[in-house]
Amino acid sequence: MKENKGFCSWSGGKDSCLSLYRAIKKGIKVEYLFTMFKEDGLRSRGHGIKPEIIKKQSELLNMNFISGEATWQDYENVFKQKVTMLEAKGLNIGVFGDIDIDDHRQWVIDACRHTNLEIYHPIWLENRRDIINEFVDLGFKAIITTVNSEVMSKDYLGKVFNKELIKEFEEIGIDACGENGEFHTLVIDGPLFKEQLELKKGEIIKVGNYYMLDLDLVI
């Protein structure tokens, strides 16, 4: 029987982390984390995390790491090149953390259509609240790194994503899964980690409508 070997599309946040966990529990040998960065390579696309932090996560998760750098205009081309490269390494499954936005899932399917990779979405169409409850109950620890200033206060930056915060988000009318871009998280510990990711907090940066907490590794 063919061994299922894969990569995980990795933002560093809770959804990709739970998807990785689910894939491993299913018996998939996930060998690589794959992250797309801005064209200058200084921060990840979407979540704005520095490459050394993502690399450290991969180390603590005992994973190889591969990345791509692109403008938004060239994003799809670079993404396709990288998944082709991952398939050439003998991988046959791509793991993705989309939940219920069909356009996101369809984009992944289309962008991998030129390969023979199986596309696996472990948390697709599951109840959003069930997903975040499972993430917390498993013992994963994440912090809030980005918030949409139009719907949330920057005071939430750096807070631990736990049951109390989930309840607070729901009370103020925020989707506690953040699937619509209300906020982003960074996972710093949990059952897959060898030890906790140690970070120091820097300045709060405004990028468009978003506030981001600048983070650096503790050396």
Claim to verify: residue 19 and residue 61 sit in the same structural domain: yes
For residues 99 and 198, membership in a common domain is answered with no
Q: For residues 28-37, give the mean pLDDT.
A: 98
> Which whole number is the average pLDDT over 23-40?
97
pLDDT tens digit sequence for 137-182: 999 999 999 999 999 999 999 999 999 999 999 999 999 999 888 9
Q: What does 121-144 look like in DSSP terms, one character per residue?
A: -TTTT--HHHHHHHHHHTT-EEEE
Residue 145 shares a structural domain with residue 112: no
pLDDT band, residue 125 (cuts 50/70/90): very high
Domain with residue 196: its CATH number is 3.90.1490.10
Distance separating alpha carbons of residues 9 and 97, to the nearest angstrom: 7
Q: How many domains does the chain have?
A: 2
Q: Using the structure block, give the residue that is written with the tokens 């949409």.
A: 148
Model confidence at 88: pLDDT above 70? yes
Identify the CATH number of the domain in which residue 45 sits.
Answer: 3.40.50.620
Sign of CA pseudo-dihedral 192, 198, 201, 207: negative
131 found inside a domain: no
Q: What is the pLDDT of residues 41-84, one digit of tens each?
A: 999 998 899 999 999 999 999 999 999 999 999 999 999 999 99
Share of the chain above pLDDT 90, in %: 95
> Is 118:30 a contact under the CB 8 Å cutoff?
no
Distance CA 160, CA 94 (A): 29
Mark whether 169 and 208 lie in a shared domain.
yes
Same domain, 67 and 146: no
Mean confidence (pLDDT) of the chain: 96
- Residues 116, 16 share a domain: yes
User: Is the pLDDT assigned to residue 2 strictly greater than 80?
Assistant: no
CB neighbours of 143 closer than 8 A, spacing ≥ 6?
158, 159, 160, 161, 185, 186, 188
Residues 114 and 181 in one domain: no
Residue 154 lies in a domain: yes
On the question of pLDDT at 1 being above 80, the answer is: no
Residue span of the structural domain in which 206 resides = 141-217
Residues 35 and 111 in one domain: yes
Name the burial class of residue 171, with classes exposed (0-12), middle (13-18) and buried (19+) by CB atoms within 10 angstroms of its CB: exposed
Residue 56 within any structural domain of the chain: yes
Can you give the length of the chain in residues?
Answer: 219
In a domain, 168, yes or no: yes
Host H or E run for residue 107: helix 102-111
Assess if residue 125 is contained within a domain.
no
3-state secondary structure of 82: helix
Averaged pLDDT for residues 113-123 = 97
